[in-house]
Structure 1
Amino acid sequence: MGLSTYLEKASWGVWRTDAALLPRSYVDSVVNAGGIPILLPAGDTQALSAVDALVLTGGADVEPRRYGQEPRAGTVTRPERDAFEFALAEAALDRGLPVLGVCRGMQVLNVVLGGSLTQHLPDRVGHTEHQPSPGVYGPSRVTLAEGSRVAGILGAETKCQCYHHQAVDQLGEGLRAVGWAADGTVEAVELPGEHFVVGVQWHPEQDTQEVRLFAALVEAAWR
């Protein structure tokens, strides 16, 4: 199972240098779900040939020009990562690979399919509960649409950990909103049909014992 990585300056030992990295919680979640994690650094999408499913992980904001907007103050982007993950997502969708988008990953899916984002959610909802403060996840409860793939995995409602200041605005072509926070923010999307294509705005990897979404992705990869 391929997981997109963060391209960031990082420190370890005596070193501080550019690195392709990923929080261990993603790796543990895939392992606990019965999958084999393969970390995908930015580069050639040929790496998809080595995996049976794709996780688009969380991280920085998507470049607003990709959905026809100018960046507002406070929007933090990683253009190199955008280029790679958009290419990954497009290739995975073309090949029918199972895809799970987590937080930023859900937003990547939405924009790849022609949708747009709200650049700063507190401007719309009037609170910061989705991202209480830097480095602090916000507990949330998400209601899921009856009959949706996500509800079939998690039930009618799920408790989760959120960390996002952006959100889906206009849905991408074919995407269906299937999960909502109490304030109406879209928290889950999916592509109806045979293939597993799901995006969640929260961070399921933060509870590495709650592996149902990752287990569903692993099961879809085995089919």
Structure 2
Amino acid sequence: MAATIGRAGSRSRPLVGITASVHGSRIAAMANRLALWRAGAASVRITVDAPFPIERLDALVVGGGDDIDASLYGESARPHIRIDPDRDRLELLALDRAARLGLPVLGICRGSQMINVHRGGSLHVDIHEVYEEAPHMRTVLPRKRIRIEPDSRLYRILGIAECRVNALHHQSVDRVGDGLRVVARERAGIVQGIEAPAEPFLIGVQWHPEYLIADSRQQALFRRLVVTAMGEAPLDEIAGVAPAQ
């Protein structure tokens, strides 16, 4: 799954950058690369130690990992929470450049939160301090039920109003950033999906679709990202289900 040339020249597959921590999970990296390869794209891992020109990408995935520095959205840092300020700066800059270039962007878990912070939004530093009735759940298996707004792009991609997803987070979107809307929540009210209606593809999901490799609906997120990166018109039935009327 070697990376191709990208926007700077001819390529057989669109090139998607995946941001990650320097010491990020190899399993997560492999899962994202596999999902993108199956969707028709090549990929390149982007870290502080291994940067890559955003101008050469066709799309961007802002991946999962450590928490975001709370000072970026006006909150106090917690001493027991691990942060990576260098990665924060890398991703904010990547999102700036992606916006200028009009690249499609998918945020996964931390990446969804980073999209929100980049747009001026804030986060709940610890969801269980706010949503006391929310179950304490941490699993790569699809155990958490969420509901998706039927008039959203996320719904048109997944083709379903309710589904089960995995959960590997303890933070979530609080105040929504400029130009974004909440398009998915779990029963307790925790935000599970955001998107920018005015953009061709700027979506953040709080779960990890890369781990749900057998779920064709979840893999449709990667397919739509790649389709958009190729400059093709969005396919509202990409998941095999017609959009709501």
Q: TM-score, normalised by structure 1?
A: 0.88
In 2 relative to 1, CA 219–104 (structure 1 residues): closer, same or farther, beyond 3 Å?
A: same
* Residue equivalent to 2:13: none
* Residue equivalent to 1:192: 197
Higher mean alpha-carbon deviation, 36-45 vs 117-126, is at 36-45
**Which fold has the larger relative contact order, with Cα–Cα distance below 8 Å and residues 6 or more apart in sequence?**
1
Instruction: In structure 2, give the amino acid aligned to 1:125.
Output: Y
Percent identity of the aligned residues? 33
Distance 1:156 1:148 in 2: 10
Q: Measure how far apart 1:23 and its partner are.
A: 2.7
Q: Measure how far apart 1:39 and its partner are.
A: 1.4
Unaligned runs of 5+ residues in structure 1 are 11-19
- 1:154-202 C-alpha deviation (Å, 9 max, x unpaired): 1212221111000001000110000000101110000012420000001
Q: How is 1:6-17 mapped onto 2 (pairs within 5 angstroms)?
A: 6-8=21-23
- CA RMSD in angstroms comes to 2.1
Give the alignment partner of residue 52 of structure 1, picking from 31, 55, 58.
58
In 2 relative to 1, CA 23–157 (structure 1 residues): closer, same or farther, beyond 3 Å?
A: same
Q: How is 1:175-186 mapped onto 2 (pairs within 5 angstroms)?
A: 175-186=180-191
Distance 1:36 1:137 in 2: 24
The structure that is strand-richer by fraction is 1
CA contact (8 A) 1:32 1:208 kept: no
Q: Does 1:148 align with 2:163?
A: no
CA contact (8 A) 2:180 2:194 kept: yes
Distance 1:194 1:65 in 2: 27
In 2 relative to 1, CA 46–203 (structure 1 residues): closer, same or farther, beyond 3 Å?
A: closer
Q: Does 1:212 align with 2:227?
A: no
Distance 1:175 1:157 in 2: 21
Higher mean alpha-carbon deviation, 31-40 vs 171-180, is at 31-40
Distance 1:167 1:44 in 2: 28
Instruction: In structure 2, give the amino acid aligned to 1:104.
Output: R
CA contact (8 A) 2:140 2:211 kept: no
Q: TM-score, normalised by structure 2?
A: 0.80
Unaligned runs of 5+ residues in structure 2 are 1-15, 232-245
Instruction: In structure 1, give the amino acid aligned to 2:230.
Output: W
